[in-house]
């Protein structure tokens, strides 16, 4: 058992070292970066599409897509107007700092203002691997249910922002927003919360404003 724990600790510490290197590379190039995490189907790619389409006139955007198979998500990000790089994890259930590093070296970062990293669809494993990105963002979605903060506490604890997607489905599912928010408040009272719908576009402006206010744009648009 001692051996196993020590191996696991070494993996995390090696990952954290490389995450720090990734952060340094991003900072040197003036790239602000988001690590977007969620369950399968919560709306990561849809939110990226809207974000890229809305901010493409203001910033140069890049998307790095982690998936266990296919390039469907990277194709959608590219179609929306971002520089898109696909990472196929070959079955791995999360991105780690090594995978992000391999993608970053392919990216011409000098020209990029905002990098969105789309993690693998999974509410558990990605929470354990820092990538070196500036902000961790979780997308919850209404049909997933209001008990998710209680059942996946590590994920909810470790994020800087929480998007609550698919609020247009609230009338059609049993979702107690107070119960959901109580769970968040216990785990992560300082998290920024953005209820929105990628389908109806309600609430998207607050999310986009948050990103714009964080990025220090190198050139102010007229």
Among 14, 20, 24, 72, binds a copy of itself (CB under 8 A): 72
Closest among 50, 221, 30, 44 to 114, alpha carbons compared: 30
Closest among 186, 45, 198 to 120, alpha carbons compared: 45
Output the six-digit token pair for 9: 């600790």
Among 86, 122, 130, 188, binds a copy of itself (CB under 8 A): 122
Asked if residue 158 binds a copy of itself (CB under 8 A), the reply is no
Output the six-digit token pair for 83: 């520089």
Interface with a copy of itself by CB under 8 A: which range of 17-25, 28-36, 63-71, 101-109? 63-71
| Distance (Å, whole) CA 192 – CA 207 | 10
Q: Which of residues 177-206 bind a copy of itself (CB under 8 A)?
A: 199
Closest among 33, 42, 86 to 61, alpha carbons compared: 33
Q: What character string, x for contact with a copy of itself (CB under 8 A) and - otherwise, covers 14-53?
A: -------------------------xxx------------
| Distance (Å, whole) CA 137 – CA 39 | 12
Task: Round to the nearest angstrom and report the end-to-end CA distance of the chain.
Answer: 61
Per DSSP, the residues of 1-55 read: -HHHHHHHHHHHHHHHHHHHHHHHHHHHTT-EEEEEEESTTSSHHHHHHHHHHHH
Among 2, 5, 91, 178, binds a copy of itself (CB under 8 A): 91
Asked if residue 96 binds a copy of itself (CB under 8 A), the reply is no
Shortest gap between Cβ of 153 and a copy of itself (angstroms)? 5
Asked if residue 98 binds a copy of itself (CB under 8 A), the reply is no
Among 9, 110, 147, 205, binds a copy of itself (CB under 8 A): 147
Asked if residue 141 binds a copy of itself (CB under 8 A), the reply is yes
Mapped onto helix, strand or coil, the DSSP state of residue 123 is coil
Among 30, 81, 145, 158, binds a copy of itself (CB under 8 A): 145
| Distance (Å, whole) CA 60 – CA 163 | 22
Q: Which is nearer to a copy of itself, 30 or 92 (CB)?
A: 92
Q: Which of residues 161-180 bind a copy of itself (CB under 8 A)?
A: 166, 168-169, 172-174
Contact positions vs a copy of itself (CB under 8 A):
39-41, 67-70, 72-73, 91, 93, 120-125, 128, 141, 143-145, 147-148, 150-154, 166, 168-169, 172-174, 199
């Amino acid at each position: 058992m001692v051996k196993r724990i020590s191996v696991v600790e070494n993996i995390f510490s090696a990952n954290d070292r490389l995450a720090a290197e990734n952060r340094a590379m991003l900072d040197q190039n003036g790239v602000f970066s988001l690590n977007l995490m969620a369950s399968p189907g919560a709306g990561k790619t849809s939110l990226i599409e809207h974000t890229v389409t809305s901010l493409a006139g203001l910033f140069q955007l890049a998307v790095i897509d982690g998936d266990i198979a296919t390039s469907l998500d990277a194709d959608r990000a590219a179609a929306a107007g971002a520089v898109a790089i696909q990472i196929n994890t070959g079955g791995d259930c999360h991105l780690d700092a090594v995978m992000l590093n391999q993608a970053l070296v392919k990216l011409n970062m000098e020209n990029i203002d905002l990098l969105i990293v789309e993690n693998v669809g999974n509410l558990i494993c990605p929470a354990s691997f820092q990538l070196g990105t500036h902000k961790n963002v979780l997308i919850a979605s209404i049909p997933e249910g209001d008990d998710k903060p209680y059942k996946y506490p590590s994920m909810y604890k470790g994020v800087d922002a929480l998007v609550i997607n698919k609020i247009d489905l609230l009338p059609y599912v049993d979702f107690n927003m107070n119960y959901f928010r109580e769970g968040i408040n216990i785990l992560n009272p300082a998290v920024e919360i953005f209820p929105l719908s990628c389908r109806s576009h309600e609430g998207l402006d607050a999310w986009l404003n948050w990103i714009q206010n964080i990025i220090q744009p190198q050139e102010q648009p007229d």
